[in-house]
Amino acid sequence: MSLLLSEFTVNAGRLRLLDIPSLSLPSTGLVGVIGPNGAGKSTLLKALAGIIPHAGRKTLDCTWPDPTRIAYLPQDFAVSAAMSVAECVLLGRRERLGWRITAHDRAEVGRVLSLLDLTHLAEARMDRLSGGQQQRVLLAQRLLRDPRLMILDEPTSALDLHHQLEVLSRLKALSTDILVIAALHDLTLAGRFADHLVLIEHGMLKAADNPEAVLNGDMLDPVYAIRCEVFRDRARNPVVVAHSPCDPCPKSPIR
């Protein structure tokens, strides 16, 4: 039981943006997608979410979830509408909403708001929230879809340190039952929370493995054009520190 991609390609005109001959991921868990700017992370996520067309096959447990059970959070999320946070979250059930808002709808909105610690903002207007608060509201909106597959394009890009940890912990807890695929820029956070890392370079799959196998100099240095040191924090999680490749090499890298 797993997520399988085969001959998975995305083209823009004659340009091939993404080419993944085959990829196999577990059917639950938190998968981090990493890679430098323009490598094709967002393209992969959009194609998985069905926002852009692709060739090849994608299956999750031998089928593909109904669009109503896929929760995709795009990278450009800014909301300028003057609606309340609760109204905005409610739109996560867009397809299932009737003319009247039912007790079930309300209960669900209340549940996800408290899950992401947003209850106190329920009445606040979306266009007056900070970028980070908006990002958490939109994540709550996606959770309202009761997703089988979550596809998140940098879900922590606007969050402060506390909320980065909180959101990723929630996603990690959710991922015992569902598959969460998230593009992440912070390699240390990726190493700490992801069960699996997918490294993409120039639209090609460079590696798909556990964080231990991906987060090391041999893998990262050529892809990111850096020279990295990988330390261990007190929980033995990897901490990635990047140096410019032009910097003089430290005499004795602490490993």
Interface residues with another protein (CB under 8 A) are 49, 51, 67-68, 70, 72-74, 76-88, 90-92, 94-95, 97, 99, 101, 103, 106-107, 109-111, 113-115, 122-124, 138, 141-142, 145
The CA distance from 108 to 93, in Å, is 10
CB of 212 to another protein, least distance (A): 31
CB of 79 to another protein, least distance (A): 5
Q: Tell me if residue 163 falls in helix, strand or coil.
A: helix
63 vs 80, beta carbon nearer another protein: 80
25 vs 118, beta carbon nearer another protein: 118
31 vs 86, beta carbon nearer another protein: 86
CB of 227 to another protein, least distance (A): 36
Instruction: Count CA atoms within 13 Å of residue 39 on its CB side.
Output: 20
The CA distance from 120 to 137, in Å, is 12
Neighbours of 125 (CB within 10 A): 15
CB of 81 to another protein, least distance (A): 4
The CA distance from 229 to 235, in Å, is 17
The string over 69-104, giving b where at least 16 C-beta atoms fall within 10 Å of a residue's C-beta and e elsewhere, is: ebbbbeeebebeeeeebbbbbbebbeeeeeeeeeee
Q: Cβ neighbours of residue 62 under 8 Å, at least 6 residues apart? A: 1
1 vs 103, beta carbon nearer another protein: 103
CB of 52 to another protein, least distance (A): 10
